[in-house]
Amino acid sequence: MFLKGCPLRCLWCSNPESQQHVPQLGFIASRCVGVGGQCGGACLSVCPVSALHLGVEDKPIIDWQVCDACGLCAQACPEGALEVVGRDMSVDEVIAEVEKDRPFYRRSGGGVTLGGGEPLLQHHFTSALLEAAHDVYLHTALETSGFAAWEHFEPVLKHVDLLQIDLKHLDPIRHREVTGQSNELILENLRRVLSVKAPQDVIVRFPVIPGCNDSVEEIRDMTEFVMGLGFTQIELIPYHKMGVSKYAQYGMAYPLLNCESPSETDMARLREVVPILVG
Ligand code: SF4
Ligand code: SF4
């Protein structure tokens, strides 16, 4: 489950549709046949706030400042070129959705994983959802940036079987440059996590982003910090470009142009300085 809303703006974010807390309209231009097609430009005529206009190649362009994601144009489009991402759901509705896949979890040993966005931004909901998952004997995992007040984070943790928490940089200034926020809150939370979780139930994840945090020295410093706190599992997540095409769909510009995934040789060099590697 991906929860919308995130206080960070990591340059390499692969879920840009999860950054805003509210539902958003997305436009998949490759599916659009243009207003001269069989659809007859149905999307243009239904918008109650005139947020759609005719653009190049007879395809609509969206005024993102005006659109309130009502979804009428998405319902009118026969090609699936417009879609609203994000919707309000209750805990019961999410659990009912999750229950549909229970036979799959039984075979795979999986369960509920909450990611985002930042699930701790909705900490009351996240806590209630994970507790409800436990009530029906589902395994729970939480993927978090760790950027949350401890009094919001700590109550959630008792409903989490596996915690996956990121560390992106040790230097607060560099951290702010590449994520939009300082790391002080995250480091403070990392110092506290093992007071309530066992090390085998926590994986600290380092996204490896060329030009941002991928030197041997940076990864070694982060590893030493994490091991010094008593953590026993680190995962290195190499940069990938899978989210790039989504930016245009939501009227956003991708910030990390010209960045390439680290090579296998680069990753091997970094793995050597992480003695507690998992994954
Ligand atoms: S978005 Fe859909 S309805 Fe609108 S022009 Fe494209 S295909 Fe037609
Ligand atoms: S989602 Fe609603 S407001 Fe936004 S462009 Fe479509 S019809 Fe207009």
The pTM for the full model equals 0.94
* CA of 19 relative to ligand 1 center, distance in Å: 26
- Pair (75, 147) in one structural domain: no
* Residues 152, 53 share a domain: no
pLDDT at position 108: 82
Phi, psi of 235 (to 5 degrees): -120, 135
Instruction: Tell me the percentage of the chain whose pLDDT exceeds 70.
Output: 100
Return the residue matching tokens 């918008």: 47
Distances (CA, A) of 188 to 99, 102, 203, 225: 36, 36, 16, 12
User: Residue 267: what residue type?
Assistant: M
pLDDT of residue 250: 96
**57 and 140 belong to one structural domain:** no
Q: Are 248 and 192 in the same domain? A: yes
End-of-domain residue from the set 45, 67, 85: 85
In a domain, 56, yes or no: yes
Q: Which atom of ligand 2 is nearest to the CA of 76?
A: 7
Q: How far apart are CA 32 and CA 60, in angstroms?
A: 9
Q: What is the pLDDT of residue 50?
A: 96
Same domain, 147 and 74: no
Among residues 70, 85, 100, the one where a domain terminates is: 85
Helix (H) or strand (E) holding 140: strand 139-144
CA distance 142 to 133: 12
Pocket probe mutation, ligand 2, options 39, 45, 49, max atoms within 8 Å of Cβ: 49
Based on the fold, state whether residues 92 and 145 are members of the same structural domain.
yes
Atom 3 in ligand 1: which residue has the minimum CA distance? 77
Could you tell me if residue 278 is inside a domain? no
The vertex-279 CA angle with 239 and 137, nearest 5°, equals 115
Asked if the structure places residue 277 within a domain, the reply is: no
State whether 78 and 116 are in the same domain: no
The answer to whether 35 and 58 are in contact (CB under 8 A) is yes
CATH value at residue 217: 3.20.20.70
C-alpha to C-alpha distance for 254 and 240, rounded to whole angstroms: 13
> What residues pair up with 163 in beta bridges, in sequence order?
142, 202
Burial 208-244 (b: 16+ CB within 10 A, else e): bbbebbbeeebbebbbebbeeeebbbbbbebbeeeee
Six-digit token pair at 94? Answer: 């999410």
Do 230 and 142 reside in the same domain of the chain? yes
| Domain encompassing residue 43 | 24-85
Is 194 in the same domain as 80? no
Count the residues in the chain. 279
* Most distant CA pair in the chain, distance: 63
Domain count along the chain: 2
CA of 69 to the centre of ligand 2 (A): 5
The 10s digit of each residue's pLDDT in 52-79 is 999 988 999 999 999 999 999 999 999 9
* CA 88 / ligand 1 centre spacing (Å): 26
Q: Check whether residue 139 and residue 12 sit in a common domain.
A: yes
Q: What is the pLDDT of residue 104?
A: 85
Shared domain for 65 and 203, answered yes or no, is: no
In ligand 2, which atom is closest to the CA atom of 70? Answer: 2
Pocket test for ligand 2, best of 44, 47, 53, 68 (most atoms within 8 A of CB): 47
CATH number, domain with residue 81? 3.30.70.20
For residue 278, report the distance from its CA to the centre of ligand 2, in Å.
45
CA of 127 to the centre of ligand 2 (A): 33
Element (H, E) at 54: strand 52-54
pLDDT value at position 223? 98
Ligand 2 proximity of 77 Cβ (cutoff 6 Å): no
Q: What integer pLDDT is reported at residue 98 of this predicted model?
A: 92
Q: Which atom of ligand 2 is nearest to the CA of 50?
A: 8
* Pocket flag, ligand 2, residue 51 (CB < 6 Å): yes
Cα separation of 262 and 250, whole Å?
27
| Interatomic CA distance for residues 172 and 148, integer angstroms | 16
How many Å apart are CA 39 and CA 249, to the nearest integer? 20
- In whole angstroms, give the CA distance from residue 242 to residue 61: 24
Report which protein residue has its CA nearest ligand 2's atom 6. 73
Name the stretches of the chain with pLDDT < 50. none
